[in-house]
Amino acid sequence: MTDGPRPVSILQRMGRRNYLIEGLSGTGKTSVCDELQRRGHHAIHGDRELAYRGDPETGEPMEGFGHEHHIWDVEKVRSLVADRSHEASFFCGGSRNFSKFIDLFDAVFVLEVDLPTLHQRLDERPDEEWGGGVPMDRELIERWHQTKEDVPQHGIVIDATAPIEQVVDEILRRSSIGL
């Protein structure tokens, strides 16, 4: 047996990449996910496939609805990140426990829009697209828009006011996946 490098170490360096796409309500996370899937990329609708109501610190399920309890199943996130069958995976959505898994991602993209665009998108959003089917308090969303307190602080900011195709092009360019 030699002391040379093992082939597995090469595979680990070449391993697949995982990206988190975050943003406030109305910034386009669902639309970005749909467009990534349309283009054939592995994209996960986190708010549909990973989310549940729970304690952001412990992960314990909770009854009722509350934005602050909209969390993702950390074990499911870890499992999907560990799956090496895709060149890259894009996890799209928002969670209040992102600090429990953010370190698993190669990059974090934060979608941002200006206030008039946010208002327009919130006005056009059907009730069933809100978690629990109940629209959130707009004043609260506007406060988060101004303070950015509800999204990862060190993500790559993406201007999501552009048409969705351009937003996805920019994410792919910055993720080195290419168009």
* CATH code for the domain in which residue 97 is found: 3.40.50.300
> What is the extent of the structural domain holding 87?
7-174
Determine the 3-state secondary structure of 43 from DSSP.
strand
pLDDT for the residue numbered 56? 86
Residue 61 within any structural domain of the chain: yes
Instruction: Report the percent of the chain where pLDDT is more than 90.
Output: 48
Closest CA to 84 of 34, 35, 14, 20: 14
Which run of H or of E encompasses 166?
Answer: helix 164-174
Q: Residue 40: in which H helix or E strand, if any?
A: none
Asked if residues 72 and 50 have their Cβ atoms less than 8 Å apart, the reply is yes
Q: Model confidence at 9, in pLDDT bands (50, 70, 90)?
A: very low
Is residue 169 in some structural domain?
A: yes
Length, in residues, of the chain: 179
pTM, two decimals, is: 0.82
Residue 144 counted as domain residue: yes
Is 29 within the bounds of a domain? yes
Residue 111: what residue type? L
Render pLDDT for 18-50 as a digit per residue (tens, 0 to 9). Answer: 999 999 888 999 999 999 999 999 999 998 899
Is 80 exceeded by the pLDDT of residue 7?
A: no
Tell me whether residue 19 is exposed, middle or buried, using C-beta atoms within 10 angstroms of its C-beta: 0 to 12, 13 to 18, 19 or more. Answer: buried
Residue 11 falls inside a structural domain: yes
| Average pLDDT value for the chain | 83
Residue at 2 is within a domain: no
42 part of a folded domain:
yes
Domain total in the chain? 1
Strands (E), 46-179: 51-53, 70-72, 88-92, 107-112, 156-159
Does any domain span residue 101?
yes
Q: Which residues pair with 55 in a beta bridge?
A: none
Q: Where does the pLDDT of residue 136 fall: very low under 50, low under 70, confident under 90, or very high at 90 and above?
A: low
User: If pLDDT is split at 50, 70 and 90, which confidence band does 128 have?
Assistant: low
The 10s digit of each residue's pLDDT in 61-108 is 888 666 778 889 999 999 999 998 999 999 999 998 899 999 999 999
